């Protein structure tokens, strides 16, 4: 058994829910504050807050997939082709399911799915942080995720909440040695967003690392077979090994890990290959679809140019400074997590999500939103808050929650998250 699998058994579902209750109640309160602030701000600007949450930007694309299926595209004057094949299918499938069993529209279904998924994500984040650092840090991690400046996205008919829920619970399954469950959740995450490959990478790396640890743990010190050993001794030793319960348990653990590893990439690979077949472009067809949106991976070159251009005039230079500070903060938090010896699957997952967000050539205003699923970045801050007295941490989180709610309302009534 690996060190991940020999931890104390997790509590029952009812016990786990009671343990997570403070985090979930706090999360619900923060999100409710954000929605109230959005409603008030939108009313003052004669806009409909519900429309902002369910019927703009990517939410429209998801509902079109739910209503019409794939094949819809928009051709722009500059030659770009925006195809709905760029949007992974799990959220539209769930929207269609909601409309099939209720009188709600696909947009309503997307909003409902996001509300439920955001609570599931909060619970998953708590489970991971509680497992690694304890209950108090788990509560702080959830509240920090709730008060992100772009936290309002968690309540939109977008796929961020759904993906984060699947990713968080997949990582928890890895940490507790439930490899088939991790594989299924990684598969579903891979059907939700392209960054599902981050969950796949975490499952694969953690599984391989646990196999290596098992092999080393099962090697007796100094054990070897000498050339002079009689054949009867070799036969006896072989029979003993084959009957050993530890060997059987190891084989069972290996099979469980292999199953999880096989399941994990099926979601991402399946959709990408289907898009290639559907477009007639082969395995790289999905990349061409993304290129039509001017999305790609350039190592951060386009983003660096975007930031550099901010320094061509004084007012925009302040935004450039803010962008650099934000990137430095993200990298610093990741390095702190490494120094604090976060579990390997968390580091792998966060590293892939962060690299894809910062080094992609996608619309630069979306980058904060793309980092929302990278919740392990918040664990160093959660640990610091957990060490404070309750009154002080409450004041800090409460103040940030108010600022986040106001900013979310301003942001969504302005440029918003495309």
The reported pLDDT for the residue numbered 417 is: 67
Q: What is the mean pLDDT of residues 326-347?
A: 95
Per-residue exposure over 254-276, b if at least 16 CB sit within 10 Å of its own CB, e if not: bebbebbbebbbbbbbebbeebb
Asked if pLDDT for residue 282 goes beyond 50, the answer is yes
Question: Which segment, 8-12, 144-148, 278-282, is predicted with the most confidence on average?
Answer: 144-148
Tokens describing residue 287: 């990349």
Q: What is the mean pLDDT of residues 245-266?
A: 81
Per-residue exposure over 235-251, b if at least 16 CB sit within 10 Å of its own CB, e if not: eeeeeeeeeeeeeeebe
Q: Which of 54-63, 224-233, 315-324, 359-368 has the lowest mean pLDDT?
A: 224-233
Q: Which of 3-17, 282-296, 306-320, 327-341 has the lowest mean pLDDT?
A: 3-17
**3-state secondary structure at position 13:** helix
| No. of helices (H) and no. of strands (E), the chain | 19, 2
Phi-psi region of 106 (alpha: psi -120 to 50; beta: other; left: phi over 0): alpha
The reported pLDDT for the residue numbered 15 is: 83
Measured in degrees and rounded to the nearest 5, phi and psi for residue 282 equal 80, -165
Instruction: Give the percent of the chain with pLDDT over 70.
Output: 88
What is the residue whose two structure tokens read 């942001």?
A: 411
The reported pLDDT for the residue numbered 250 is: 67
The reported pLDDT for the residue numbered 222 is: 45
Asked if pLDDT for residue 233 goes beyond 70, the answer is no
Read off the pLDDT of residues 407-418 as tens digits, 9 standing for 90 and up: 999 999 987 766
Mean of pLDDT over the chain: 87
Select from 174, 179, 121 the least CA-distant residue to 349: 174
Distance from the Cα of residue 161 to its chain's centroid: 8
Q: What is the mean pLDDT of residues 159-184?
A: 97
The reported pLDDT for the residue numbered 245 is: 59
Are 200 and 264 a contacting pair, CB within 8 Å? yes
**pLDDT band (50, 70, 90) for residue 183:** very high
Are 165 and 127 a contacting pair, CB within 8 Å? no
Who has greater pLDDT, 176 or 365? 176
Select from 62, 105, 55 the least CA-distant residue to 85: 62
Who has greater pLDDT, 276 or 227? 276
The reported pLDDT for the residue numbered 254 is: 81
Q: How far is the C-alpha of 360 from the C-alpha of 202, rounded, in Å?
A: 20
Q: Give alpha helix (H) positions in 134-223.
A: 135-146, 160-175, 179-190, 196-217
Are 267 and 191 a contacting pair, CB within 8 Å? yes
Who has greater pLDDT, 242 or 60? 60
Asked if pLDDT for residue 138 goes beyond 60, the answer is yes
Question: Which segment, 165-174, 217-226, 308-317, is predicted with the most confidence on average?
Answer: 165-174
């Amino acid at each position: 058994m690996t060190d991940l699998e020999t931890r104390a058994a997790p509590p029952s579902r009812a016990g786990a829910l009671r343990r997570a209750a403070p985090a979930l109640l706090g999360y619900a309160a923060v999100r409710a504050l954000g929605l109230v602030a959005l409603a008030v701000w939108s009313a003052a600007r004669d806009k409909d807050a519900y429309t902002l949450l369910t019927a703009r930007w990517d939410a429209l694309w998801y509902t079109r997939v739910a209503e019409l299926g794939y094949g819809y595209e928009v051709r722009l004057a500059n030659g770009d082709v925006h195809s709905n094949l760029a949007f992974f299918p799990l959220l539209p499938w769930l929207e269609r399911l909601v409309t099939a069993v209720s009188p709600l529209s696909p947009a309503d279904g997307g909003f409902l799915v996001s509300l439920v998924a955001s609570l599931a994500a909060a619970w998953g984040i708590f489970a991971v942080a509680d497992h690694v650092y304890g209950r108090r840090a788990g509560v702080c991690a959830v509240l920090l995720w709730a008060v992100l400046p772009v936290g309002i996205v968690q309540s939109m008919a977008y796929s961020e909440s759904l993906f984060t829920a699947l990713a968080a619970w997949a990582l928890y399954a890895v940490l507790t040695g439930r490899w088939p469950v991790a594989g299924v959740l990684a598969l579903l995450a891979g059907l939700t967003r392209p960054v599902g490959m981050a969950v796949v990478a975490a499952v694969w790396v953690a599984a391989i690392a646990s196999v290596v640890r098992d092999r080393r743990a099962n090697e007796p010190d100094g054990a070897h077979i000498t050339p002079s050993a009689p054949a009867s001794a070799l036969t006896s030793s072989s029979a003993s090994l084959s009957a050993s319960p530890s060997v059987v348990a190891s084989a069972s653990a290996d099979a469980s890990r292999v199953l999880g590893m096989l399941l994990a990439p099926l979601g991402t690979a399946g959709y990408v290959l289907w898009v290639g077949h559907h477009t007639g472009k082969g395995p790289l067809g999905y990349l061409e679809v993304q290129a039509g949106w001017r999305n790609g991976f350039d190592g951060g070159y386009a983003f660096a140019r975007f930031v550099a251009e901010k320094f061509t005039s004084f007012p925009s230079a302040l935004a450039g400074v803010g962008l650099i500070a934000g990137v430095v903060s993200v990298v610093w938090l990741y390095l702190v997590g490494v120094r604090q010896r976060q579990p390997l699957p968390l580091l792998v997952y966060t590293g892939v999500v962060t690299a894809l967000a910062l080094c992609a050539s996608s619309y630069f205003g979306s980058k904060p939103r793309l980092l929302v699923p990278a919740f392990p970045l918040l664990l160093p801050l959660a640990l610091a808050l957990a060490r404070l007295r309750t009154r002080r941490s409450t004041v800090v989180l409460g103040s940030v929650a108010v600022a986040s709610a106001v900013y979310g309302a301003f942001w969504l009534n302005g440029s918003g998250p495309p």
